[in-house]
Amino acid sequence: MTNGIYIGDAARQSGVKVPTIRYYEQIGLLRSPLRSDSNRRFYDTADLRRLAFIRHARELGFDIEAIRALLTLQDNPSQSCATADGIAKARLIEVDQRIRSLLALKAELEVMIEECRHGRVADCKVIEVLADHGECQHHHK
Amino acid sequence: MTNGIYIGDAARQSGVKVPTIRYYEQIGLLRSPLRSDSNRRFYDTADLRRLAFIRHARELGFDIEAIRALLTLQDNPSQSCATADGIAKARLIEVDQRIRSLLALKAELEVMIEECRHGRVADCKVIEVLADHGECQHHHK
DNA sequence: TGTTGCTCCTCCAGCGGCTAGAGAATGTAA
DNA sequence: TTACATTCTCTAGCCGCTGGAGGAGCAACA
């Protein structure tokens, strides 16, 4: 068909699962596509690009509302770019934060594993480390 | 009271919110505590340690089932430590993975922000980067 | 011309891990 | 006493999907 592809192919080509595509349509992130005579959705290349955009942004950790904002900007390209910039900067701060705490966690897990010498649980540091830490440090986010 | 503290204090001391404590009890992660005459929950220091354990493990990204497994080990200390060790090792792999992809993401965000010179959206790299990437690379997890 | 097997449709329920609210009963302080 | 805080139970909602039921349609082959 030259009018487009079915949802299954759109899913395969975009890397977004079929129910997720329908979900995005439902919440208004994706326009309602054309339908075949038998009511099947048809997607074109513009839809595929939009899906790829969404998927990538989700992978980068943008939440749906941020993506909605970015897509709105994309649909109205004469606006200022400051909003998009702001969204990206907010994400950068979050990401930095998460990297830092994951690195701390990694160090902690390595200690746990290193000290656990396959003895009995009574001697196992994995559990000890987890139990102790909560009492000595309180670095709530 | 020498029999323990109320849920509010338990929440303040453990860093776990009141409804979350009740939720943990509901899903069987925490035993049902003693109650006062007027039906209020009383927590003792053992409960506080367990809560701190759970909070810390959650911060480290362990899911509830992993924590349940760790707590079961803790309650039966004569078992082998291999299970706890396995759980920690699995987490370490995950964490490493996430650090790597967050670092990649950070780099990408920095490029996006760097190249966005507060012009119009038409020239804005924030959106372009997001749109393009999905088409060239497909490093699905 | 079946009939097998795949995709698609809609609708609705459920997941994890909380979080928030209603409405009622206690507890504590001035 | 009056006010306010805290607790209780119960229920519903949050996000971002994910899966299943039950049915329609379509393509290919015998």
The ranges assigned to domains in chain B are 1-79, 98-141
Task: Classify A7-62 by CATH class.
Answer: mainly alpha
Looking at the domain B1-79, which fold is it? Multidrug-efflux Transporter Regulator; Chain: A; Domain 2 (1.10.1660)
Residues of A numbered 73-132 whose beta carbons fall under 8 angstroms of chain B's beta carbons: which are they? 73-74, 76-82, 84-85, 87-89, 91-92, 95-96, 98-99, 101-103, 105-106, 108-110, 112-113, 116, 118-124, 126-127, 130-131
Q: Is the ipTM of this complex over 0.90?
A: no
Name the residue with the least CA to C1' distance from nucleotide D7. Answer: B40
Q: Are B73 and A130 in contact (CB under 8 A)?
A: no
- At position A114, the amino acid (one-letter code) is E
CB-CB under 8 Å, A53 with B78: no
Instruction: Give the span between the Cα atoms of A4 and A47, in whole angstroms.
Output: 10
Maximum Cα interatomic distance, chain A, rounded to a whole number of Å: 68
Q: What H or E segment, with its residue span, contains residue A34?
A: strand A34-35
| pLDDT per residue of chain B (141 residues) written in tens, 0 to 9 | 457 899 999 999 999 999 999 999 999 999 999 999 999 999 999 999 999 989 988 887 788 998 898 888 777 766 667 777 887 788 788 778 878 877 877 887 787 777 666 555 556 666 666 666 544 344 332
